[in-house]
Amino acid sequence: MSYTGPDFDPPPERRSRRGPLTVALAALVCGGLLGWGVYAATDAGDDKGATAEGAPSASPRMPSSPAASSPAGSSSPSAGDAGDARDGESPASRTPSASAPAAAGPLKGKVVVIDPGHNPTNSRHTAEINRQVDVGTHRKECDTTGTSTNDGYAEAEFTLDVAHRMRALLEKQGATVKLTQDRDRPYGPCVDERARIGNAAKADAVVSIHADGSGAGNRGFHVILPGSVDEGEADTRAVVAPSRELGERIAGNFVRVTGTAPSNYIGGGTGLVTRKDLGGLNLSTVPKVFIECGNMRDSKDAALLTSGAWRQKAARGISEGIVSFLRG
């Protein structure tokens, strides 16, 4: 995703990375990020825990004040992941947009909408996705093609894979899960329609999955929260607070499960950013956030994003944040 639009300042110049691990770990503990510190200090390359677990463990929340920013685990995908980097289909994928009957579980009766950012075939429909739509504060493109790693792994493929993995995890918890798109349409949907899908489903939580396309050296994840907007068709005032709660839960669990540090180039080390220019947030009437899982244009982050084992961890972290939010 790009960072342009009203009410949004470009990210400040990157701060230098922290030095000794002990200093970073102490700061992370104070900020509620013990999970990342333990992971980094022990075995950041262990992919054995990246299975579709059942009940979530701890439910940390990210702090509201800036915490120390430290580079994410830098291990490359293991040899066993090489064939999973561009498989297109995750082990949890199935018929487009189909949702299995909800299982008995703690999320029985809850509806979760997963919004996989962009669409793998948007590039074949440039006229359609360049069409302007109303997002309340202004008009902008229906959708974009998204970004990719330097060697061509598309953001749209990444978002679908993570969405499939999340769907399997959340359905095991009893939730009814809907996807805004599942490679079942030629392009889009447009950003305004993505918001309406969550609204029409009366979703208890909506998460839009993305990966960033920032400069090399910019690393880490961040969660985008809706700002308070009351303009045109957009009125986020009722969902700002629950969306922040959802975002904090997701950010805390993402750190704990993946070992990935919050962004070192935006969000002041908190992993949280507020925006008022995104139609998918402006037009939502239910709690909703975006997550940028990492930077596809940085080689170290790209090594994680193209690892099937790491994508499973990402899906777990996001899903466990959703479970924590919905269970209160």
Q: Which of 10, 174, 207 is nearest to 107 (CA)?
A: 174
Tokens of 33: 């990020």
CA 130 to chain centroid = 24
For 38-138, strand residue ranges (E) read: 111-116, 132-134
Query: What are the catalytic residues?
Result: 292
Residue carrying structure tokens 């961890």 = 313
Q: Which of 300, 299, 284, 176 lies closest to 234 in space, CA to CA?
A: 284
Concatenating the DSSP letter of every residue in 145-195 gives: ---B-TT--BHHHHHHHHHHHHHHHHHHTT-EEEES-SS-SSS---HHHHH
3-state secondary structure of 256: helix
72 within 8 A of 218, measured Cβ to Cβ: no
